[in-house]
Chains A and B, each alone.
Chain A
Amino acid sequence: DVKVTQSSRYLVKRTGEKVFLECVQDMDHENMFWYRQDPGLGLRLIYFSYDVKMKEKGDIPEGYSVSREKKERFSLILESASTNQTSMYLCASRGTGIPTQHFGDGTRLSIL
């Protein structure tokens, strides 16, 4: 089974802090994704990566950046956290040629 692990289930940070959300997958997948989940809006794509050091913006990239230095790890960075970034963040991975994405357990992030 594919295992996608997000480093924190809950995280509380302060406005203006730099925040790192980490995601690791164990299936050698090329593609990794960061989504944000908000009530009534479903999941929206923030960024994705299709290879090491390669990244592309999703639908709502403003205020976020990402890093992929190793194939198994994909980090989401909030450069200067703001209260409107309080949300649930979900990481996913997918092998090339396979349509299904596999998700982590999510990180519930609160910005105070």
Chain B
Amino acid sequence: AQTVTQSQPEMSVQEAETVTLSCTYDTSESDYYLFWYKQPPSRQMILVIRQEAYKQQNATENRFSVNFQKAAKSFSLKISDSQLGDAAMYFCAYRSAFSNTGKLIFGQGTTLQVKP
């Protein structure tokens, strides 16, 4: 069975600085998707970034980028130029490309605090 682990329950960063959130996963499959979701205090889960395992190039969305290391089964999220609005809980999630359910397997979450 696949598992996703986020080993940092809480992180903090100074406004305008860069922070990296860690995520590791375990799978025997060769094709899958990885996601980072953000859950602000308003509670709606928002997709931050998505990575397809067959793509070697790391995904980037504006200030958000990932470091995808397939062999190491690592998928970290880098937030550059942190803003107060980045404060939220961040979840890493895995989805098998072969799954007929499309279910997501989530990590435990990392709460990010942004200090002014």
Contact = CB atoms under 8 A, between A and B. Distances in A.
Interface of A: 9, 31, 33, 35, 40-45, 48, 50, 56, 58, 88, 90, 92, 94, 99-106
The interface residues of chain A, by DSSP majority, are classed as strand
Contact of B91 (A33, A43, A58): A43
A100 B44 CA distance: 15
Query: Which 4 pairs show the lowest CB-CB distances between chains A and B?
Result: A42-B106, A103-B45, A43-B106, A106-B43
The interface residues of chain B, by DSSP majority, are classed as loop
A42 B9 CA distance: 11
- Interface size on B, as a range, is 20 to 34
A92 B44 CA distance: 11
Nearest to A49: B101
Nearest to B44: A105
Contacts of A92: 45, 104
B102 A94 contact: yes
Contacts of B11: none
Interface centre among B35, B46, B47, B101 (most CB of A within 10 A): B101
